[in-house]
Amino acid sequence: MRELRPVLAHVLAVSVAALVAGVVRDDPTTAPVGEIVLVPVPSRASVRRARGDDPWRGVCAEAAARLRRRGIPVRVEGALEMRRGVRDQAGLSRTERYANVRGRFRVRTPSSVWWRRKAGALGDAGTAVVLCDDVLTTGATLGAAVAALAEAGCDVLGCVVLSTA
């Protein structure tokens, strides 16, 4: 995965820039986007331990660096964590996938998303939260992650994935 990071980061950076530009262009009532906050969907803790790192977060960090070099204010916030009990999604049916991740994400405390919510500043005009994941299969994981962010008072501008299964 490490050797693919530059390529994946480039694709992610282009996708995030296109998403933000498209949303602002398509909806004139949308406030101009200031800071972009990329929130990677986290891997299960057992997967991170087995790999020795979180490669997807690394891809997001590299994408953010590429966007900053182009003058786009962006940062990565590891705002989500996965609660215990989530099984590997491989081999699960659509219904099982939704049940597996429903309610299993929470906003990490402390994180800037959490702190901004506590301060009443989350969802400030101009802040664009973009949820990032590597693969979209059924939408269960993204749906659960967006629900956790929404529960914390965060408006997600959109989601970017690199591939569909």
Q: Return the domain boundaries, the chain.
A: 2-164
**What is the rounded (10 degree) CA torsion for 23, 25, 27, 33?**
60
Q: Which two tokens stand for residue 62?
A: 């590299």
Question: pLDDT for 42-91, tens place per residue?
Answer: 876 666 677 676 777 888 888 888 888 888 888 888 888 888 878 777 88
Supply the pTM of this predicted model.
0.79
